[in-house]
Structure 1
């Protein structure tokens, strides 16, 4: 296996079949216990040895009249550099100490790194969302404190206005009472 990983479209061009066929073959191969590399976004990725598996499957299908599943099984069994299917059927990093091939270990490590990167990316997104929520809450608190201050100012103005009205009513009432007394006094004086 090499370090260069190819996308489905690249493999389909190299092998001469549609990308959907490569995906179908990949599914059948993984059904046999083999695990392909995946990108951070989860897209299938292939190395040159895996491309040769697809070429082998296509060649077997052309030469012999057999089902696709049997062609996949035969291509996997014909691959000389493939690890025993029983070893591959384990997860890519269930037990790294039992892996005999350095390439399998590096593939498992790459898969773990891809998963860790995906988790870190997800954590970064959540962190950014949390920071945005905190900013929104702070803006709301600022807005609500301004609104509270406006309401307090309005209430103070209303209370001041009510006090003035009350004082004005007292002055008016006192003035009216004085005027009434003055009129009464003048009326009695008028008859004298």
Structure 2
């Protein structure tokens, strides 16, 4: 079993861009196909940044998916179901795996049972949900800070507008007072000149 794990870990993997070029499709189409296969139980390797890594077997499955949808005119949903069911039927049963382990010449150390692809996906989803929650909380905090800043800016603007209006009203009153004084003095001048 250790040899199998070592072989899988040494198996060359391909990026999504490489596989898309190899299949002659766009990267978004490859993502769509991969997600559809995953929804039906197919499992792709993931790197430490949670990007899909494609093995040769995965590329073969994707090529078959392409054939089923383009040449045999199956819907993508039907093709995904068919391929996932084929993969499950071709996978060795747990009894076969345990029998091959018992017949091994050297006694292998007891290995913890591997987590199933479904468990890995659940863990990945849980981690993704936690990241989304953290991002959501950060956005809410940022929005609250922006709203507080906007409220304080509006209060300051209102204070300045009120002061400006008050200053304008005071200036108008002073101008009116000066005009009235000028008018009064001019009336007295006219009266004094007449005498």
TM-score normalised by the chain length of structure 2: 0.49
Residue of 92, 108, 113 corresponding to 1:79: 92
Q: Is the 8 A contact 1:38 1:111 kept in 2?
A: no
Unaligned runs of 5+ in 1: 58-68, 84-101, 187-192
Against the structure 1 CA distance between its residues 109 and 137, is the aligned structure 2 distance closer, same or farther, given a 3 Å change threshold?
same
Residue of 106, 111, 131 corresponding to 1:121: 131
Q: How far 1:36 sits from its partner (Å)?
A: 1.9
CA–CA distance in structure 1, aligned partners of residues 147 and 87 of structure 2: 62
Q: How far 1:34 sits from its partner (Å)?
A: 5.3
State the 4+ residue runs in structure 1 displaced beyond 6 angstroms: 1-4, 18-21
Q: How does 1:38-117 map to 2 (within 5 A)?
A: 39=46, 42-44=50-52, 77=90, 79-81=92-94, 103=114, 107-117=117-127
How many residue pairs align between the two structures? 137
CA–CA distance in structure 1, aligned partners of residues 174 and 19 of structure 2: 85
CA–CA distance in structure 2, aligned partners of residues 35 and 154 of structure 1: 70
Q: How far 1:42 sits from its partner (Å)?
A: 4.7
Q: Deviations over 1:61-83 (max 9, x none)?
A: xxxxxxxx99xx59963624389
**1:144 corresponding residue in structure 2:** 154
Q: Is the 8 A contact 1:36 1:44 kept in 2?
A: no
Q: Is the 8 A contact 2:45 2:52 kept in 1?
A: yes
CA–CA distance in structure 1, aligned partners of residues 170 and 87 of structure 2: 95
Q: How far 1:115 sits from its partner (Å)?
A: 0.5
Q: Deviations over 1:46-92 (max 9, x none)?
A: 9xxxx8x95xx9xxxxxxxxxxx99xx59963624389xxxxxxxxx
CA–CA distance in structure 1, aligned partners of residues 190 and 133 of structure 2: 83
Q: How far 1:112 sits from its partner (Å)?
A: 1.3
Q: How far 1:151 sits from its partner (Å)?
A: 1.2
RMSD of equivalent CA atoms = 4.6
Q: Is the 8 A contact 2:44 2:53 kept in 1?
A: yes
Unaligned runs of 5+ in 2: 23-29, 61-81, 97-112
Q: Which has the larger radius of gyration?
A: 1
TM-score normalised by the chain length of structure 1: 0.50
Against the structure 1 CA distance between its residues 183 and 75, is the aligned structure 2 distance closer, same or farther, given a 3 Å change threshold?
closer
CA–CA distance in structure 2, aligned partners of residues 150 and 127 of structure 1: 35
Q: How far 1:107 sits from its partner (Å)?
A: 4.3
